[in-house]
Amino acid sequence: MRKTQKIALSIIGMILALIALSPFYLVLVNVGKTSSDIILSPLSWPTDFNQFIENITGVMNNPNFMFWRSFFNSIIVSVITLTLFALFASMAAWVLCRNKTWWSNLIYMIFVSAMVIPFQVVMLPLLSVFRIIQDFTGIPMLGNIGGLVFSYMGFGGALSIFIIHGFVKGIPRELEEAAEIDGCSKAGIFFKIIFPLLRPVQMTVVILQGIWIWNDFLLPSMLLGLRGDSRTLPVSVASLIGSFVVQWDLLLSAAFLAMIPFVILFLCAQKFIIKGMISGAIK
């Protein structure tokens, strides 16, 4: 009976895996086709490799798409935001975990509660607040990468703190007490002892949040607009969709180029993701 259950679960798992991988298959097989071939036969393999090169170069040289500019913007937003996540979320999680007081528990529960608030509920008030801040202080919050990074920090900070908080619980307090006896300051304890130990879970946060930031469309389209030099890759990909005509060959080629960096990063760092999540869950 157990053998039959294992076989059934394996079959179900394979079916679910095929369903999950089907979008990647459609992108890969259609990158090397013309728009008419994609419409006529979207599931078949391409026959002309030169068409693949032509589609890729066509996307990179498309003046409306601005691939390299959008790619550079996405890199800047991702690197800055993920660096701030790794630093500030680690600091907040460590302080909240080590201070067993009512206010630390309250703040932690507020962070946990914030994870269940849908972005769609606050997106319109967010625009209004950003306009008020921009008018009052003169700091450009709309149409600026800085405002986008600030927004990502607010929406993604709760999950980052939640993940790192579970990992910090497993770090022995004796390490901090020994360093404190030797005269190490609080900042020294964190940056010299705690911060290096958080690298596995920080990599987990970087990958999970990085995939979200790299592929996000709604928030950049609202704050940066659908046109302009500051738009990110997902927003630029959407520019290939017209009101009456969809350039499927360029659209899928752009999607292929956009997903390559984080697919490579995920494959290289997946062991850190598994290690960080398991450690945080157990500890």
Residue-wise pLDDT tens digits, 102-156: 888 888 888 888 888 887 788 888 888 888 888 888 777 887 888 888 888 888 8
Statement: residue 226 has pLDDT above 60: yes
Q: What pLDDT score was predicted for residue 100?
A: 79
For the chain, what percent of residues have pLDDT higher than 70? 92
Q: What pLDDT score was predicted for residue 231?
A: 82
Confidence of residue 276 (pLDDT cuts 50, 70, 90): low
Statement: residue 240 has pLDDT above 50: yes
Confidence of residue 243 (pLDDT cuts 50, 70, 90): low
Could you tell me the CA-to-CA distances from 255 to 60, 106, 281 in Å, in that order?
A: 12, 42, 34
Higher pLDDT pick, 143 / 274: 143
Q: What pLDDT score was predicted for residue 279?
A: 53
Could you tell me the CA-to-CA distances from 139 to 74, 128, 131, 272 in Å, in that order?
A: 21, 14, 10, 38
Statement: residue 244 has pLDDT above 70: no
Q: What pLDDT score was predicted for residue 41?
A: 78
Higher pLDDT pick, 272 / 89: 89
On whether the CB atoms of residues 264 and 186 are closer than 8 A, the answer is no
How far, in Å, CA of 214 to CA of 212, rounded? 6
- What's the fold here for domain 67-282? MetI-like fold (1.10.3720)
CB burial of 192-230 (b: ≥16 within 10 Å; e: otherwise) equals eebbebbebbbbbbbbbbbbbbbebeebbebbbeeeeeb
Q: Compute the CA torsion angle 203, 252, 73, 220 (nearest 10 deg).
A: -90
Statement: residue 174 has pLDDT above 50: yes
Residue of 59, 70, 29 lying closest to 234 (CA atoms): 70
Write out the H or E segment, with its range, that includes residue 265: helix 248-282
Residue of 271, 263, 258, 267 lying closest to 75 (CA atoms): 258
* Pair of tokens at residue 43: 């599931």
Statement: residue 273 has pLDDT above 70: no
**Which segments of the chain belong to CATH 1.10.3720.10?**
67-282
Statement: residue 167 has pLDDT above 80: yes
Statement: residue 48 has pLDDT above 80: no
Distance of CA 151 to the CA centre of its chain: 13
Amino acid at the residue 108: Y
Q: What is the pLDDT of residues 57-96, one digit of tens each?
A: 878 877 777 778 888 888 999 999 999 988 999 999 888 8
Higher pLDDT pick, 78 / 29: 78
241 beta partners? 246
Amino acid at the residue 247: Q
pTM (two decimals)? 0.81
